[in-house]
Amino acid sequence: MPAEPRKPRILSCGEVLWDLFPEGARFGGAPANFACHAARLGGDVTMLSAVGNDIRGDEAVTILRGFGVETTLVQRIADALTGSVGVSVDAAGKPSFEIHAGSAWDLINWTDALEAKLSEVDAIYFGTLGQRGAVSRATIRRVTELARESGMLRVLDVNLRSPFYDAALIHESIAQASVLKLSDEELSEVATACGIALDTKPEATLRSLLTRFGLHLVVMTRGAEGALFVSPNGVIDQSGIPTKVVDTVGAGDSFTAAFVLGILRGDAPEVILQKACEIASAVCSQSGAVPARF
């Protein structure tokens, strides 16, 4: 009997937090959501983050483990609270965020265990919000630099959350990546930060980003309209998958999880994009960033 293929190994770096919806708190944070989705979709995923010595920290670690995410690199910070974000959702299911300051995930430290883990994984995932704090930013930059030196896949989901970014952070983060994921709502700001003029055709702007930074590929989600994929081999336009939207929280994270796993498994770009859009559509049809089923 042939051996089962090894699971793709991914290190997700950044914030673990609680989204405080009007109806109650929900587990969240883009890297945490990504980690849970990637694990559910068959990845061997480790979370690099930090939580407080509090009930929300305990619950967050329990949830991550429940989805099959390794939590040995989720640090406990004695003098900081587990992160939280005030969330409101409009009639179209679109969320807005008030991200609370001074959270444990701002204080992710470099450790020997983290350095050892980097020799075991196939890809890293990171964003801009997780670099808000100086301590976490230094740690994540060290992770991306070592990953770059080893030729590892480095996936940046820019995930812009005002006011916790600036042009320099966007530019420097893309320079550390090999794969860039962004949304159509972020394209203008990302292009401006990188000194790239917006073209009337989004694929032309994405191609400019690809060339400027020597990226392997760029993918842009467009909500209900699907996604655009740009690589040195050309452009793929994937239409959206119709669904009845309950809320869009976590949809982009699920898309990225499916997308990254497809890359690591060597699937064809067309297959990767369609699967990623299907997963995101299913998440939109349910409440919460990581629904109980999809």
- CB of 160 closer than 8 Å to CB of 189: yes
Q: What is the pLDDT of residues 157-190, one digit of tens each?
A: 999 988 899 999 999 999 999 999 999 999 999 9
pLDDT, tens digit (0-9, with 9 covering 90-100), for 62-113: 999 999 999 999 999 999 999 998 877 777 777 777 888 889 999 999 999 9
Please give the share of the chain, as a percent, with pLDDT higher than 90. Answer: 72
Rounded Cα–Cα distance for residues 105 and 130 (Å):
7
Segment 207-266, tens digit of pLDDT: 999 999 999 999 999 887 889 999 999 999 977 665 665 555 567 898 999 999 999 999
pLDDT above 70 (res 114): yes
126 to 26, 214, 251, 268, 271: CA distances (angstroms)? 21, 18, 17, 24, 24
Binning pLDDT at 50, 70 and 90, where does residue 9 land? very high
Is CATH 3.40.1190.20 correct for 9-284? yes
1 or 181, higher pLDDT: 181
24 Rama class: left (phi>0) / alpha (psi -120 to 50) / beta: left
